[in-house]
Amino acid sequence: MTDTLRPVETAVAEASDTPKTLKRSIGVVGGTLLTLSCVTPASTLFVVVPDLFGSLGTATALTIAIGSLLCIAVAFCYSELGTLIPSAGGEYAMVSTMAGRLAGWLVFVLSLLVVMIVPPVIAMGTADYLAPIVHLDPAMTGAGVMLLATLAGLLDLRANAWITGIFLVLEVIAAGVVAVLGFSHSHRGVGSLTSMQVADTGGHATTVTAMLVVSGLAIALFVTQGFSTAVYLSEELEDPRRNVARTVLATLAISTVIILVPVAAITMGATDLKALTGGDISSMVTAWSNSAVGTFVSLCVALAIINAGIVMVIQNSRVLFASARDKAWPAPVNSALSRLGRFGSPWVATLAVGVPGALLCFVNLDTLYGVTGVSVTGMYLLVAVAALLSRRGHHKHTPAWRMPLWPTMPILLIAVLAYILTQQETTYLLWTGGITAVATLYWAFYLRPRKETHWVVSIPEDAQA
């Protein structure tokens, strides 16, 4: 990594005499509510997990558990780096500062892939869970959810913390109902959680191989991926040196329980292997109880998806805002994306995230789940590399939260994530690699020749104190 950043103080000074900053207005509770809402456990459980049931069957809970254990190491990396570099740029600010501008730029591109693809994909699932009341077109419904989330994203962050907090309570209740019903209608014992079986097209049981589990880890990592939102909110968290780590670790622990317990209950409560592999959780809930309970759960999930859309738009707009403040684009684009509205939110960046997200709801996004899994894994890999470099030079003595078992933790994480990448489908690797190659060319021909004025990561002055 030859083109590393100068010390943070210098970078700030050269980036702008008066860099724009976001208002610090939330504590650990508000930050955790917003971050949990971005993980959106219920929408993940009802939208993403059914696909895992389809490919992994009874091994789904085990795969998610392994992914959650890996995420502990990832969370340690985020916590240390997030307190060293508390910037709305999130991963790219941390990696740029520690591992060099090119590495930071590539992380930014990978994170942009994730944040642009995931909200519309989840939003389109709203129609399925409104079906007990009204039948809607998935694309139109998803676009409506994205536009609603965009409007909410223009509000003050403290107001959004309350809105998302109320929605979060409802989705946790839905996940709890599923867990109670699944365990109370168990058709198989705890041993089924490690039985490694899935139904084939004929409904017959087949064995899930270890390689399938490894391949599924990319999506399993994505299941709890939203805990990184705490880092994106670090400019708006009070006392970020302490509260970023608290928010990251608390969110990961809570979201893992909310997701993993119902997955175990569904695995044990499904009437047969074919029903489990089908992944129709709403039908299972109705069979375990009655149509009224099934409708209640479906409505809670629909609200959870809307909740996720709001928080993801908030998160993603902060990333674009920070990239413009750090001069990643031509001057007119930087000026527009860094504008703050009357509520202190980056309104142009919010629109730039929400409106394209609404349009993406009309695009076939089936293969983009795979691209998202590859992007998340690659992003975590580069964050782990940055964490390995986080205690060199003056950063070694900077006050920050420090992870246990350093440097063993990031080294093991790098090895595991690299192996997971090798097990992904070639098509997904080629798509992600192609986009990364184009981004590298932009870096080489536009950003690098302007390195004194462009892509200069800035850290708010109050965060350096």
Q: Domain extents for the chain?
A: 22-394+425-459
Residue 338 burial class via C-beta count within 10 angstroms: exposed 0-12, middle 13-18, buried 19 and up: buried
User: What is the Cβ-side half-sphere exposure of residue 292, based on CA atoms within 13 angstroms?
Assistant: 0
- pLDDT by 10s per residue, the chain, length 465: 334 443 333 333 333 444 555 565 577 777 787 777 666 777 778 878 888 898 899 999 999 999 999 999 999 999 899 888 877 677 888 899 899 989 999 999 998 888 788 888 888 888 888 887 888 888 899 999 999 888 887 776 555 566 667 777 888 888 999 999 999 999 888 888 888 899 887 778 899 988 889 988 888 887 877 787 778 777 777 777 778 888 888 889 988 998 999 999 999 999 889 999 998 888 899 889 888 888 888 888 888 788 778 777 877 887 788 788 888 899 999 999 988 877 667 889 889 888 988 988 887 767 767 888 899 899 999 999 999 999 988 888 888 889 999 999 999 999 999 999 998 889 999 999 999 999 999 999 999 999 888 888 766 554 444
The whole-number pLDDT of residue 410 equals 94
Q: Does domain 22-394+425-459 have CATH number 3.40.140.10?
A: no
The whole-number pLDDT of residue 280 equals 85
The whole-number pLDDT of residue 8 equals 37
Confirm if 382 and 91 have CB atoms less than 8 A apart. Answer: yes
Q: Is 144 helix (H, G, I), strand (E, B) or coil?
A: helix
- Residue-by-residue DSSP string for 52-90: HHHHHGGGHHHHHHHHHHHHHHHHHHHHHHHHHS--TTT
**pTM exceeds 0.85:** no
The whole-number pLDDT of residue 385 equals 95
Confirm if 76 and 206 have CB atoms less than 8 A apart. Answer: no
The whole-number pLDDT of residue 21 equals 55
Confirm if 114 and 372 have CB atoms less than 8 A apart. Answer: yes
Confirm if 301 and 307 have CB atoms less than 8 A apart. Answer: no
Residue 174: its H or E element: helix 157-184
